[in-house]
């Protein structure tokens, strides 16, 4: 597989450039003669196939890590809420004393995986 070059722009630096791009082999946004934006490599002279180009927007990497951390925190919060609900439901059964309740809490924490924990993050 060949290595792909991508021309990227920082947030706020995305606008149409009505000149020839400096790197015609890079993947970029292209505005064709009909005014339709496409993604691809620049071909031909200015005005032959395309009237403008724009670097692809670039998402900062820390944002991806923040999203993953938020998803992980949400999954943990949901797991704890689910465990609490199960414990409350169990505690309302007849004949449940403090020792049985404590053992049930340990069993829930160790043995049961919440369905939300089976998801995969981005």
Domain limits of the chain?
8-57, 61-118
Print pLDDT tens along the chain (122 aa). Answer: 456 666 666 666 778 999 999 888 889 999 999 999 999 999 999 999 999 999 887 766 676 677 888 888 888 888 888 878 878 888 888 888 878 877 777 776 655 555 555 544 44
CB 42 within 8 A of CB 29: no
Instruction: Report long-range pairs for 92-97 (Cβ below 8 Å, ≥24 apart).
Output: none
Whose structure tokens read 């009909």?
A: 34
Helix (H) or strand (E) holding 9: strand 8-9
Residue count (the chain): 122
- pTM as predicted: 0.44
Is 4 buried (19+), middle (13-18) or exposed (0-12) by CB count in 10 A? exposed
Q: List CB contacts of 43: < 8 A, sequence separation 6 or more.
A: 24, 49, 50
């Amino acid at each position: 597989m060949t290595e792909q070059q991508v021309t990227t722009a920082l947030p706020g630096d995305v606008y149409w450039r009505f000149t020839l791009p400096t790197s015609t082999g890079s993947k970029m946004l292209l505005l064709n003669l009909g005014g339709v934006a496409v993604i691809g490599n620049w071909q031909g002279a200015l005005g032959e196939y395309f009237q403008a180009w724009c670097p692809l927007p670039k998402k900062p990497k820390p944002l991806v890590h923040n999203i993953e951390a938020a998803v992980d925190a949400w999954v943990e919060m949901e797991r704890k809420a689910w465990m609490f609900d199960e414990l409350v439901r169990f505690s309302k059964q007849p004949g449940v004393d403090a020792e049985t309740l404590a053992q049930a809490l340990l069993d829930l924490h160790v043995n049961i995986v919440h369905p939300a924990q089976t998801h995969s993050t981005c």
